[in-house]
Amino acid sequence: MTFTTKEKISYLFSVPVIVAALGYFVDIYDLLLFSIVRIPSLRSMGLDVDTYGTMILNWEKTGLLLGGILWGMLGDKKGRLSVLFGSILVYSLANVCCGLLPHVEFMEKQNAYALFRFIAGLGLAGELGAGITLVSESLPKELRAIGTSIVAGFGLFGAVVASLTVELAGDWTVSYFIGGGLGLLLLILRISVVESGIYKNIAKNEQVAKGNFLSFFTNYNRFVRYMKCIAIGLPTWFCIGILAVFANQIGAALGIREEIDPGKAILWAYVGISAGDLASGFISNKLKSRKRAIFYMMLFTIIGVVLMLSGTVKTVEMYYVFCVWLGLGTGYWALFVTVGAEQFGTNIRATAATTIPNMVRGTLVIMILIFNYFKPSYGVIWAAVIVGILAFGLGIYSTLTIPETHDKDLDFTE
C-alpha cells in the first residue's frame, strides 16, 4: 500500500506517536539520571562510589526486570493505556524521592537510594514497551518501523537533556526534581490518547488468554523466539552499561591520563543512539528487512568496539568520539523492540514488548558480574572484551536466525 506525503505525515505525527515519543523522552531522562549523577550524588553524601554505585545500579536493573513483567501483563490484561498512565506516575514520584535523599533520616542513605531506584526501575519498565506496542498497532504496517524510530530517536534525547540539566542545575537533587516534574506534567498530555484498535478487538473476548507471561516458556517455538529477541538487544547495553558507565575505569586502563567522566560518555553515546534510532527505521524500510538492518548496525558497532579497546583511543575527547560511534551502531533499540512486538500475538504483545527490553536491561547485572569477575585476573580491557564477545555473539546469532517481521500483519493472537 502506498501513501501520499500528507498521509504519511498524518500517521507519523499522530497523537499516539507524539505522546509515546514524549513519554520515552522522560523515561530515558529518568532511567539514565542515576548513571549520570552516580559519582557526584554518592560523594556528596559521603558514600563510596564503587561499592554503593554498583549495588544501587543492580537494584535499579532488578526493578526494571520485575517491572517489565508486571506492566507487560497489565498492558495485555487491562490495555496499553493503563501502563502508560501507571508506570509514569510510579517513576516520577520515585525520582522526586531521590531528590529528597539528603534529608532522609529514617534509614541509611545508601539503602534509601537503592530502594528509590528500585521503585523507579519498576515504573520505568513499562514506558517503552507500552508505547511501542500502541504505536505499532496504531500505524499501517508500511510505516511501523519509521514511527517507532521517531519515538525512540526523539525519546533518546532525554539522556542528552539529562546530562545537560545536571551541568546547568549545579545540584544533582534538582535534576531528580525536574525529571519527576516532567513525568507528572506528561500525565496531562496522555488524557488525549485512545486505546489501540487491534487491542480493542480482543479486549472483551474471554476465550483469549491475555498477558500470560508463563506462555513464553510453555511452547518451545515461542520460547526460542522470546530468548532471541532478548539476545538481539545485548550489544546495546554492553556498550552503554560497560563501555560508557565504566568509562573512567576503561580510560585509565587504556592509559588515558585525564579521568573520563562516565556522565559525558553516556551523553555522547546517546547522541549517537538518537541519530541511529532515527535512521534504523528508514534503513529497515529501504532494505525491506528488520534483520538485515540490525545485523549491519551490529557489524558497524563491532568495528568501533575493536578500535576503542585495542588502544586506538589516546585522549578523553577521542573516547567520547567513539562513544558516539558505538551509539550510532547500537541505535537499533526501537527496531529491536518493534521486532519483539511483531513476533507475538495481540494477547501477549504488550507483555513481550515490555519484558524484552527490560530483560535486556536486567542482563546488565550479569554483565557487570562477569566484568568484575574477570577484572582481577585479566584486567579491565580483557574483562570488557570477554563480556563483549558474549553479547555480540549471542546478538548476531539471534538476529540471523529469528523470523523476519517486515510488513507482518499484527492482527493475530497466540
Encode pLDDT of 348-395 as tens digits. Answer: 888 888 889 888 988 888 999 999 999 999 999 999 999 999 999 999
- Read off the pLDDT band of 200 (50, 70, 90): low
What is the spatial distance between Cα 411 and Cα 201, in angstroms, rounded to a whole number?
Answer: 9
- Core vs surface per residue 276-314: b (16+ CB within 10 A) or e: bbbbbbebbbeeebbbbbbbbbbebbbebbeebbeeebe
Phi, psi of 45 (to 5 degrees): -100, 10
Q: What is the pLDDT of residues 134-185, one digit of tens each?
A: 888 888 888 888 888 888 778 877 877 888 888 888 889 999 999 999 888 8
**Domain locations along the chain:** 10-195+218-401
Amino acid identity, position 169: A
CATH 1.10.8.80 holds for 10-195+218-401? no
Residue 139 exposed, middle or buried by CB count within 10 Å (0-12, 13-18, 19+): buried
- Between the alpha carbon of residue 7 and those of residues 10, 117, 136, 144, 147, the distances in Å are 5, 42, 17, 14, 13
Alpha-helical segments (H) within 45-156? 49-77, 80-99, 109-124, 127-138, 144-155
3-class DSSP state for residue 411?
coil
> pTM here?
0.80
